[in-house]
């Protein structure tokens, strides 16, 4: 398949590389000049999109997505698929999808879960919104780049699923870190706490698969000095998107709102920037109730 890939950063680069390894004809573009071995390098986003059957974007935010869409949609051939894997606001995803469909394209919003490791290993989960025709064309690509793809409904629903998932993740990571810090002060051994909670009603992905306590549970960023698998500033972004969506939908999300406040303080006023989102644990370790 002839594929244009725009945005070759920490996530997009490995995803594009996996498509190349699978034998697809990939042309890539990144504003930073990044290239992927085996992929042709375009001089612009429009050049990468020209003649492609599927154009994949992995971009930082909705504003940039809208700008790239304005550039590439006129260059894309009718019947092609605009597959956006960025995590952006629901409104931007739906507006860009409508713009693509008006130009005779299929549009899919397909944000991912699984982090850099999932991008490199081809084990991402895709949450997909958009039309069935585009999904049929792109389905083989999801199998290469990921291990699971869930069609969540019409355009924008992929983004809705992602932000709801990550609102849960952000809040559960915070309370997991709080619980370890409380256990320390109560004299409860961390391994004992993990052994109980990981097999009891406190079970969660944050505890069992991504434990924030070094040396406890499966290996995680906590065992690598909290170097990011999923950066705290990315969690801050996703929690912000969730609250924007909640305001638009008039949804009451008090825990999501409080998680946003805590990650904002962690990233913007403390030492969270550049650290994994599970580095909330050392934050709570040194704090009292005051």
Residues with catalytic function? 162
Contact 124, 146 (CB under 8 A): yes
Question: Is residue 183 a contact partner of residue 193, using CB atoms and an 8 Å limit?
Answer: yes
Please name the residue that has the structure tokens 């490791």.
117
- Compute how many other C-beta atoms are within 10 angstroms of the C-beta atom of residue 234: 19
Give the side-chain half-sphere CA count within 13 A for 278.
24
Spatial CA neighbour of 159 closest among 258, 69, 245, 250: 245
Using alpha carbons only, give the angle 76, 47, 111 rounded to the nearest 5 degrees.
65
Q: Work out the burial of residue 33: count CB atoms within 10 Å of its CB; fewer than 13 is exposed, 13-18 middle, 19 or more buried.
A: exposed
């Amino acid at each position: 398949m002839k594929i244009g890939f725009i945005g070759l950063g920490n996530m997009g680069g490995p995803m594009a590389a996996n498509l190349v390894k699978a034998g697809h004809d990939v042309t890539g573009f990144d504003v930073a000049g990044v290239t992927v071995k085996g992929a042709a390098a375009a001089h612009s986003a429009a050049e990468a999109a020209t003649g492609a059957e599927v154009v994949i974007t992995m971009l930082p935010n909705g504003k940039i997505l809208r700008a790239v869409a304005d550039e590439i949609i006129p260059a894309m051939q009718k019947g092609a698929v605009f597959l956006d894997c960025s995590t952006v606001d629901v409104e931007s995803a739906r507006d860009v999808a409508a713009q693509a469909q008006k130009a005779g394209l299929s549009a899919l919003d397909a944000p991912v879960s699984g982090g850099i490791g999932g991008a490199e290993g081809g084990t991402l989960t895709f949450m997909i919104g958009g039309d069935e025709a585009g999904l049929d064309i792109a389905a083989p690509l999801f199998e290469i780049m990921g291990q699971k793809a869930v069609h969540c409904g019409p355009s924008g629903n992929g983004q809705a699923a992602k932000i709801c998932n990550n609102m849960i993740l952000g809040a559960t990571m915070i309370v997991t870190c709080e619980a370890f810090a409380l256990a320390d002060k109560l004299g409860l051994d961390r391994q004992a706490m993990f052994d109980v909670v990981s097999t009891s009603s406190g079970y969660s992905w944050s505890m069992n698969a991504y434990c924030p306590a070094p040396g406890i549970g499966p290996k995680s960023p906590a065992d690598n000095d909290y170097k990011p698998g999923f950066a705290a500033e990315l969690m801050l972004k996703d929690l912000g998107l969730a609250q924007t969506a909640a305001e638009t939908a008039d949804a009451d999300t008090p825990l999501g709102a409080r998680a946003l406040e805590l990650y904002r303080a962690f990233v913007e006023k403390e030492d969270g920037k550049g650290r994994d989102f599970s580095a909330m644990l050392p934050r709570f370790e040194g704090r009292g109730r005051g």
